[in-house]
Structure 1
Amino acid sequence: MSDKRILENGSCESIGNFKTNIYVPTYITVFILGFIENVFCLYVFLKLYKKKNAFSIVMVNLAMSDLLFVCTLPWRAYYYWKHNWTFPNCLCVILIYALYFNMYSSIYFLTLMSILRYVAVVHPVKGLKYRNVKYVQIICIAIWVFVGVASIPLLVIGNKEEQCFELSNGIDVMDIKIIFTMDLISLVLGFIIPFFFFTICYILVVKALLTSKTNPHKQHSSRRKAIARIVVVMVIFITGFPIYHIVRTIYLTEISTRRNVSHVSCLLQKSAVATLSHAVMNPCLDPLLYYFAAQTFRDKVRNTIKNAFKGCPAPMQQT
């Protein structure tokens, strides 16, 4: 057996059917719900917000990122349903790029929201200049540019004919080493560093809310609600991205050190499929984040729903 190839001795049993059963319903569901939710969120942010603020600017950028991503999911669902890529290879590469571009731009926008929340709660006066709309807009543009440029190496990853979105059988050892190196870089820059700031900022926010001495009796209920919302935001973030990054890195480590398929690598591959499916649900979860994190957004949503049903005739009462 040549040392220049890996994953040549067969493949994981029934992995194709496993991917179909997991990916196809997930991608279709996320596309439908994510498209509706994020179009609605953009409508609320762009049409109903009379005055833009730092948080609404970040949420608009996050919703745009999510909307662009969900529009790529029908292509992915089609491929895993047919297991045959009949479109140009360049489209496959662009769709791979779109997945990670969305994932890491979302992570950075969520991290920026946590920093803004920290500044607003812990340093409400000193941090006013950092919550300036123009300042935040510049940061959002910088995030788009940074993540876009950092994801460019993904554009050089090729795929075999009729295959897409997966490591091909017989992939070069050099290719897998490049992919593994890219994974480590994205793990550090795209997840670990943002995750550190995200977690620290919200921990400090919760600490500040718990130790606040301003009107303790009147503020008790509002502080409790604020902490509950922060917990929801943290759960949405933590349950999606960390597990996927951990499993992906372990899987790539496994296949980069072996020359054939093992039972362990098959289990890891299936775990990577499952955790990626969970991670791509983020566009459906982010609108919940807006709802729990922003009082103004909650008010706008409630008013929109109330106005939508305002003209509906009330059900006839029995006499």
Structure 2
Amino acid sequence: MNNTSNVENNSSCESIYNFKASIYVPSYIIIFIFGFTENLFCLYVFLKLYKKKTAFSIVMVNLAISDLLFVCTLPWRVHYYSENIWKHSHSLCIFLTYALYLNMYCSIYFLTLISILRYFAIVHPITCLKFRSVKCVQIICIAIWMFVGIAAIPFLSLENKKKRCFEFNDSTAVIFTMNLFSLVLGFIIPFFIFNTCYILVIKTLLTSEANHHNQKSSRSKAIVRIIVVMVIFITGFPVYHVLRTVYLAEIQNKSNPVQVSCFVQKSAVVTLCQVVMNPCLDPVFYYFAAESFRDKLRSTVKNTFKGCPALMHQN
């Protein structure tokens, strides 16, 4: 919410607009290109190559759809920060803000759901089998879309400054309250569940018996993949939420030095880019979190390029 303050102009961070343009424009262009391509390819793998639906594939399809829809909104953000003026309708601006937070928190909830499914599959493979059914997971995914979609509705009621976008006229108290709500329900609780599930999974893998070398190797690889997944999640969302909260809290404290305020604003801009980069990182998450996806990806790449040597030989 670093770009949603109603008092941004009250600070003496005079270069903030130029700084945003220099960071957002190239970042959003790169994220759009890679995010659109990667998630479109992932959807192809999930929808065309998976002969049978699984709980994991359903969640990943929903996550890929969320990411794909969001990256399609980035060209408007690039245009705005390039021109430094909003030339489109107020409704479109509000929708773009809504889309950002819808994607962010849907992503967090879908990633959390994957960690729960992994926990059930490894720690309680028999007793929690019914919770990993395709029908149950489909219902949960629909519930996530509905819950996040409804919870993000307050963003649709915000008023932007004239000829600006992502900068609201609403009181700081209102925005700070919205931040606290999204911080607790949208990040802290899912973050706790996500890490708890994977820590318990790692504990189960470490304490499980492995009699053969292949079993020990598979267990070690599984632990490494889980650690990579946790790092991907931890490096993006926590820093952004902390800085966003600090920034909004600092705005309400008029006695803070201007230099610190400017530093926090610019830091929040950078961390927002980290969060927006999530659609590019989720395909990496699929690769490390789902063995079936790795197998499908490898076979697809192999089949795509298997004719290349013969073609080069003909030339």
Normalised by the size of structure 2, how large is the TM-score?
A: 0.94
Equivalent position of 1:141 in the other structure: 142
**Separation in structure 2 between the aligned mates of residue 196 and residue 115 of structure 1, nearest angstrom:** 11
**Separation in structure 2 between the aligned mates of residue 91 and residue 62 of structure 1, nearest angstrom:** 23
**Separation in structure 1 between the aligned mates of residue 70 and residue 8 of structure 2, nearest angstrom:** 30
Unaligned runs of 5+ in 1: none
Q: CA deviation at 1:295?
A: 1.0
Aligned residue identity for 2:76? W
C-alpha change, 1:165 and 1:249, in structure 2 (3 Å) is: same
Q: CA deviation at 1:13?
A: 2.3
| Counterpart check, 1:99 vs 2:100 | yes
Equivalent runs, 1:165-184 vs 2, <5 Å:
165-167=166-168, 171=169, 175-184=171-180
Q: CA deviation at 1:263?
A: 1.3
What is the CA deviation profile of residues 120-141 of structure 1, one whole-angstrom value per residue up to 9, with x for unaligned ones? 0000111111100000000000
Equivalent position of 1:90 in the other structure: 91
What is the CA deviation profile of residues 239-264 of structure 1, one whole-angstrom value per residue up to 9, with x for unaligned ones? 00000000000000001222898111
Equivalent position of 2:191 in the other structure: 195
Equivalent position of 1:17 in the other structure: 18
Unaligned runs of 5+ in 2: 1-5
Equivalent position of 1:250 in the other structure: 246
**Separation in structure 1 between the aligned mates of residue 298 and residue 125 of structure 2, nearest angstrom:** 28
Equivalent position of 1:129 in the other structure: 130
Equivalent runs, 1:30-45 vs 2, <5 Å:
30-45=31-46
Equivalent position of 2:201 in the other structure: 205
> SS at the partner of 2:161?
coil
Is this contact kept in 2: 1:6–1:258, CA < 8 A? no
Is this contact kept in 2: 1:9–1:260, CA < 8 A? no
C-alpha change, 1:8 and 1:102, in structure 2 (3 Å) is: closer
Equivalent position of 2:234 in the other structure: 238
**Separation in structure 1 between the aligned mates of residue 78 and residue 138 of structure 2, nearest angstrom:** 34
Is this contact kept in 2: 1:6–1:260, CA < 8 A? no
> SS at the partner of 1:239?
helix
Is this contact kept in 1: 2:98–2:155, CA < 8 A? yes
Is this contact kept in 1: 2:161–2:167, CA < 8 A? no
RMSD of aligned alpha carbons: 1.7
**Separation in structure 2 between the aligned mates of residue 307 and residue 9 of structure 1, nearest angstrom:** 58
Q: CA deviation at 1:191?
A: 0.1
Is this contact kept in 2: 1:8–1:260, CA < 8 A? no
Q: CA deviation at 1:10?
A: 5.5
> SS at the partner of 2:308?
coil
| Counterpart check, 1:288 vs 2:289 | no
What is the CA deviation profile of residues 113-156 of structure 1, one whole-angstrom value per residue up to 9, with x for unaligned ones? 00000000000111111100000000000000000000000001
C-alpha change, 1:9 and 1:152, in structure 2 (3 Å) is: closer
> SS at the partner of 1:109?
helix
What is the CA deviation profile of residues 275-315 of structure 1, one whole-angstrom value per residue up to 9, with x for unaligned ones? 00111100000000101111111111111111111222444
> SS at the partner of 1:125?
coil
Aligned residue identity for 1:142? A
Is this contact kept in 1: 2:250–2:256, CA < 8 A? no
Equivalent position of 1:220 in the other structure: 216
> SS at the partner of 2:156?
helix
Q: CA deviation at 1:218?
A: 3.5
Is this contact kept in 2: 1:65–1:102, CA < 8 A? yes
Q: CA deviation at 1:273?
A: 0.1
Percent identity of equivalent pairs: 68
Q: CA deviation at 1:11?
A: 3.8
Equivalent position of 1:309 in the other structure: 305
What is the CA deviation profile of residues 137-190 of structure 1, one whole-angstrom value per residue up to 9, with x for unaligned ones? 0000000000000000000111112100235xxx46xx1110000000100000
Identify which range, 149-158 or 209-218, moves more after superposition.
209-218
**Separation in structure 1 between the aligned mates of residue 98 and residue 213 of structure 2, nearest angstrom:** 51
Q: CA deviation at 1:215?
A: 2.6
Aligned residue identity for 1:19? K
